[in-house]
Amino acid sequence: MKVSILGALAVLSPLAALAAPLTTRAAAAEGPIGYASQNGGTTGGAGGSSITVKSYDELVKAVKDDTAAIIYVDGTIEGSKKIRVGSNKSILGKNASSKLVGAGFLVKEAKNVIIQNLGFSKVYQDGGDAIAVQKSENVWIDHCDLSSDLSHGKDYYDGLADFSHAADYITVR
pLDDT tens-place string over residues 27-53: 345 789 999 999 999 999 999 999 999
Residues 6+ apart with CB under 8 A from 40: 138
Say if 104 falls within a structural domain. yes
The whole-angstrom separation of Cα 138 and Cα 92 is 16
Domain that holds residue 165: 3-15+42-148+156-172
Is residue 106 within 8 A of residue 128, CB to CB? The reply is yes
102 part of a folded domain: yes
Asked if residue 122 belongs to a domain, the reply is: yes
Asked if the structure places residue 34 within a domain, the reply is no
**Considering its fold, how many domains does the chain have in total?**
1
pLDDT score recorded for residue 3: 57
Within a domain: 72: yes
In a domain, 26, yes or no: no
Domain annotation covers residue 94: yes
Q: Running DSSP on this structure, what letter comes out for residue 95?
A: S
Q: What is the pLDDT of residues 125-140, one digit of tens each?
A: 766 799 999 999 999 9
pLDDT, position 154: 73
Look up the CATH number of the domain holding residue 127.
2.160.20.10
Please indicate, yes or no, if residue 83 is contained in any of the structural domains: yes
Q: What is the pLDDT of residue 127?
A: 65
Strands (E), 9-155: 49-53, 69-73, 76-78, 83-85, 89-93, 99-101, 105-108, 111-116, 119-121, 131-134, 137-142, 145-147
**pLDDT beneath 50, residues of the chain:** 6-28
